[in-house]
Structure 1
Amino acid sequence: MHDLPAQPGIRTSLAELIGMRHHVHEVQIFSTPARRSPLIGLHHSRLRGRGVDFDQVRAYQPGDDVRTIDWRVTARTQKPHTKVFHEERERPIFIIVEQSRRLFFGSGLAFKSVIAAHAASLLGWAALEHNDRIGGLVFSDSEHHEVRPRRSKQSLLQLLNWTVRANQGLSADSAVGPRDGFSLALRRAREVLRPGSLVVVLCDERALGDTAEQQLSLLARHTDLILMPLSDQLDHALPAAGLLRFTDRYTQLEIDTQDADLRLGYAALGAARQARWQRLAQKLCVLLMPLHTRSDIVEQIREHLQSGGRR
């Protein structure tokens, strides 16, 4: 594909996403023998196999190897339990990244769509360097493209290429896609991923509806999740800027931002969206790492790692 002219912060390019590999060493996303990442708990292998290092005994789950069943614990508890071992092999990492019109906005350093693309690239290069299998799914308003996890640079480049194509296709005049695009992407991930995979979800903060929440709950049963919803400061607070007009191809909206009640109601909606993500992460016991448009992705990931993430 041919990149459009550079528009820093508005659109990204394949060269830009490939260049993100140089920033991998600035943040320790995955653990190495010499350094332990604060996210190590997410990356310890949950693959069910016959490794040499015993980890723990836990309740049997569909898909577990029957040869690892602990019969003594099973007899004592009257419920099937299995032994879990750590294995020295790569882990499938699947990145779901949104590139829809609702992300084509930003009042800070970059548009949300660009921050999402940068995050997907940084995580992808880190996973590849960690010798993991990398794949993912890019979805926009009109289509989605899937890359099966493989331990291959070509696999990552294919994912980044689809991300750039979707990103550069965004514009203020783009048609708004179906509301359930996010849910469909999650459902597809459930169909192709095996138990023990690590799934990174990069989407607009406003994408979490009832159906998407249900799909995330089902996905979390057999995979590890990192939730990375994106927002802009204007998604949470309106400035007192007087009369503002918003238009698209068909409609026009006019609001008075001097209205204090309007601003309070708008802020309450933004806070409710954040709270819903937090409740979901707590219920599923998964990592929540919200992203924003005020700083670059390397700085944001570093801040999350320093705080150990929020569960």
Structure 2
Amino acid sequence: MSEVSAREADGLVYASLAQLLRLEQPAQHLGFSSRQPLGSILAGQHNSRLRGRGLNFEELRRYQPGDDLRHIDWRVSLRQGKPFVRSFSEERDRPALILVDQRMDMFFGSKRSLKSCTAAELAALAAWMVFHSGDRVGGLVFNDQQIERIAPLRSRQRIEQLCAVIIRQNHALAADNPDIDSRGQLDKVLHECLALANHDHLICIISDFAGTTPQTLKLLRQLAAHNDVIALQVYDPIALSIPQNGHLLITQGELQVELAVGRKQVHKPLSAFSSGRLREVAELLRRSRIPLLMISTGEETLPQLRFELGKYSGPSR
């Protein structure tokens, strides 16, 4: 029996390939578009707004009734004595790379699901969104030691391949895994991404952003200089609200630990660490001018992503 099939996948502790492939249908109603409702993080004249597709110049031709007057080339028109317009076509191809974190730090959850499972769901949703927008999809799936690369291609088979790699790494997570120093692994992934995406890519980073270094900001800025980059930070609700009293059950896969959070020596450092990490990541991404979407493990993934993107499934008005 394979390592993947040997583990019971409930979608909360371990994800399943069937679960990720089923997300195609709901993902069709979402999109990483620069045209978003006003309440969206991607809307407005924000420095981090996604560029969207560009326009390619096709030809200069005589004006025809119904042509957009903004496309009239006045210099040529005055020289020829007749109106001429510039014709453009929309760039149809914007490859996407989805960076998916499956490090041991993601194998954690205090409510509903583990961060590693939420990240897997987000990656599948992002892949299907890109596929249905007509673009190629690839990715980098990484754990504490390994980075697996999937070259962008527009096909369902490629998304299935990406999801299968995510599931393989997801099912390799276990509470008894050896403790590995993975500092700098996130930077290695960003280096790999820079080598693959020199310009005009959509880069979707799905992680808790643990292990950032002074180099991380530089790498993010380099990526964002010529690509559209969006960050989805997966966080556990414990980071926002540590109970004042009682006991807190912490889950890491099959391992569970109960903490007496009412004790000052437990509550104070735990609260400072959890909230401090969220603030650090938010500040890092703000400085790199990358849009940040925050997704909690304590709630269902799809409604959160729909809300964060400002996309609603009802009919447009």
TM-score w.r.t. length of structure 1:
0.76
Q: Note closer, same or farther for the CA distance 1:295–1:199 as it changes in structure 2 (3 Å cut).
A: same
Report the equivalent of 1:204: 208
- State the SS of the aligned residue for 2:204: strand
Separation in 1 of the partners of 2:236 and 2:105? 11
Query: Does residue 108 of structure 2 align to residue 105 of structure 1?
Result: yes
1:98/1:139 contact within 8 Å kept: yes
Separation in 1 of the partners of 2:286 and 2:152? 28
- Cα offsets for 1:190-228 (capped at 9, x unmatched): 011131111010112423332323322222222111111
Deviating more after overlay: 86-95 vs 97-106: 86-95
Report the equivalent of 1:213: 217
Shift of 1:46: 4.9
Separation in 2 of the partners of 1:22 and 1:247? 31
> Which of 177, 183, 186 does residue 182 from structure 1 map onto?
186
- State the SS of the aligned residue for 2:31: coil
Q: Note closer, same or farther for the CA distance 1:259–1:214 as it changes in structure 2 (3 Å cut).
A: farther
Q: What are the ranges of 5 or more consecutive residues in structure 2 without an aligned counterpart?
A: 44-48, 61-87, 313-317
- State the SS of the aligned residue for 2:304: helix
Shift of 1:88: 2.9
1:21/1:125 contact within 8 Å kept: yes
More relative contact order in 1 or in 2 (CA 8 Å, sep 6+)? 2
Deviating more after overlay: 263-272 vs 161-170: 263-272
Separation in 1 of the partners of 2:31 and 2:295? 16
- State the SS of the aligned residue for 1:290: strand
Q: One-letter code of the match for 1:263?
A: H
Q: Note closer, same or farther for the CA distance 1:276–1:173 as it changes in structure 2 (3 Å cut).
A: same
Report the equivalent of 1:62: none
Report the equivalent of 2:151: 148
> Which of 33, 45, 50 does residue 53 from structure 2 map onto?
45
Matches within 5 A, 1:229-244: 229-240=233-244
Separation in 2 of the partners of 1:279 and 1:247? 28
2:244/2:262 contact within 8 Å kept: yes
- State the SS of the aligned residue for 2:145: coil
- State the SS of the aligned residue for 1:270: helix
> Which of 264, 269, 280 does residue 268 from structure 2 map onto?
264
Q: Note closer, same or farther for the CA distance 1:155–1:161 as it changes in structure 2 (3 Å cut).
A: same
Q: One-letter code of the match for 2:50?
A: L
- The sequence identity of aligned pairs, in percent, is 28
- Cα offsets for 1:49-77 (capped at 9, x unmatched): 54579xxxxxxxxxxxxxxxxxxxxxxxx
Shift of 1:255: 6.8
Matches within 5 A, 1:107-186: 107-177=110-180, 178-186=182-190
- Root-mean-square deviation (CA), in Å? 3.2
Q: What are the ranges of 5 or more consecutive residues in structure 1 without an aligned counterpart?
A: 54-84
- Cα offsets for 1:81-115 (capped at 9, x unmatched): xxxx8733121111000111111111222111000
> Which of 6, 10, 21 does residue 7 from structure 1 map onto?
10
Matches within 5 A, 1:3-42: 3=5, 4-25=7-28, 27-31=29-33, 39=42, 41-42=49-50
Please say which structure displays the higher CA radius of gyration: 2
TM-score w.r.t. length of structure 2:
0.74
Aligned residue pair count = 269
Q: Note closer, same or farther for the CA distance 1:272–1:46 as it changes in structure 2 (3 Å cut).
A: farther
1:94/1:134 contact within 8 Å kept: yes
